[in-house]
Chains A and B, each alone.
Chain A
């Protein structure tokens, strides 16, 4: 290597070292500092750091301040103030705020419930990709809240959430598919959807799946699988699955039922 190259290399290294030593430390990000304070349960400090950001239009900070007010962290609990902060963030297209704003309009703890406005914000959040909003929007159409009952729209929005693995959505779409609500009835497709939700640990889907196996609906009848899923559902709090457990135990015999019960308990839900 030529001498000038070695010298210039050393000079560059020295210059970098000087720059590193003399350059002022990067200013702390007040939003991140606020998050650190929040995680340490220093809620007043988090609010102090987030408030100027929210006032300057930072939707993330405005959303988090709303959450502090809803939970009464560092401030007296005040759902109406939470609502106001979420509205600010929602209008700036911050999706979690759109979701919370809609749910607060349904919950009615920051004023009278307003399903029509809730629907408006759920549509925005759902179109912005919120899976939870897609599912809730589907339920709103299903029950006719905020708009006339519309099973096709309910099926479509819950279907979007189901495609992304949302277990309650999978279960609801499975029921609609089984019963031909908002779509053509299809027992085999319903069985597949119930299976997906059941494997995801959703108790009501496990109960429904056990009945599919019990009745041979959409799948070949299989008393052992019916009993397995009934045990899983029962352990998940679905008390009516006890009827399937009793019926299948009577059919299969106690010894086989005990083995399946052990298998169900050993299977993570």
Chain B
């Protein structure tokens, strides 16, 4: 089975310690995030739903949700009212953590290795990783990590098989807003965040 790029947006956070020594804060961020997620999911205490919920705080801290959310909405961000912007930001965060935290549970057995780290502009670093499952060929993912002078390093995008998940999300959201409006998009995110897991 090959994981879809989208499902890997956050699912790649389940890995073993990086096999290549982390060279900088960006690789450290990815490696630490992976170790923490892996330990949480492989813990034996608590039910799986609780362990997945425990990942949410890490996702909020390690991903620059505000940046990702605004970029994903594209030009519609400036056309939204202040209330819509606030609702959208809230719901985007809820959607990401609720959806991906639960999907992460499906990747508990995957292994990650960091295979490269390179500068990509004044504030960004690309961290390249390989994710392997059993004997399957590794999936390559590039994590774009941004750090400002006073801001901590945080993930702003993931490219899987050369496809930017942030760009894909922006494209999908633009289609949804054209069809259903900004309020419609917010309700769609609310619905996606509100589904129940296995009982």
Q: Which residues of A contact B (CB under 8 A)?
A: 35, 38-39, 41, 43, 46, 60, 63-64, 67-68, 70-77, 96, 99-100, 103-104, 106-109, 113, 132, 136, 139, 143, 145, 237-240
Once bound together, how far apart are the Cα atoms of A75 and B2, in whole Å? 10
Assess the B187–A72 pair: CB atoms within 8 A: no
Query: Can you report 18 A-B residue pairs in the complex whose CB atoms are below 8 A from each other?
Result: A39-B48, A60-B199, A64-B199, A67-B197, A67-B199, A73-B105, A76-B2, A96-B196, A99-B194, A99-B196, A100-B195, A100-B196, A106-B191, A107-B188, A107-B191, A108-B176, A136-B194, A143-B183
Residue on A nearest B4 in the bound complex, by CB: A77
- Assess the B48–A106 pair: CB atoms within 8 A: no
Contacting pair B187 A41 (CB below 8 A): no
What is the predominant secondary structure among interface residues of chain B facing chain A? helix
- In the complex the two chains form, is A103's CB within 8 Å of B194's CB? yes
Minimum CB–CB distance from A103 to chain B (whole Å) comes to 4
Q: How far is the CB of A92 from chain B (nearest CB, A)?
A: 14
Indicate whether B170 reaches chain A with its CB closer than 8 angstroms: no
Q: List, in ascending order, chain A residues with CB within 8 A of B149's CB.
A: none
Residues of chain B touching chain A, judged by Cβ–Cβ distance below 8 Å, are 1-4, 7, 41-42, 47-48, 82, 86, 90, 102-103, 105-106, 108-109, 176, 180, 183, 187-188, 190-192, 194-199
Q: Which residues of B contact A239 (CB under 8 A)?
A: 86
Could you say which of A46, A72, A99, A240 contacts B86, with CB atoms under 8 Å apart? A240
Chain A residues whose C-beta falls within 8 Å of the C-beta of B105 in the assembled complex: 41, 71, 73
Q: Determine which of B102, B180, B194 lies in contact with A132 in the assembled complex, contact meaning CB atoms within 8 Å.
A: B194
Q: Which of A73, A109, A132, A240 contacts B106 (CB 8 A)?
A: A73
Complex CA gap A43/B198 in Å reads 11
| In the complex with contacts A39-B48, A72-B3, A77-B7, A64-B191 CB distance below 8 A | no
Minimum C-beta distance from B126 to chain A (A)? 26
Give the one of B1, B7, B106, B196 with max A CB within 10 A.
B196
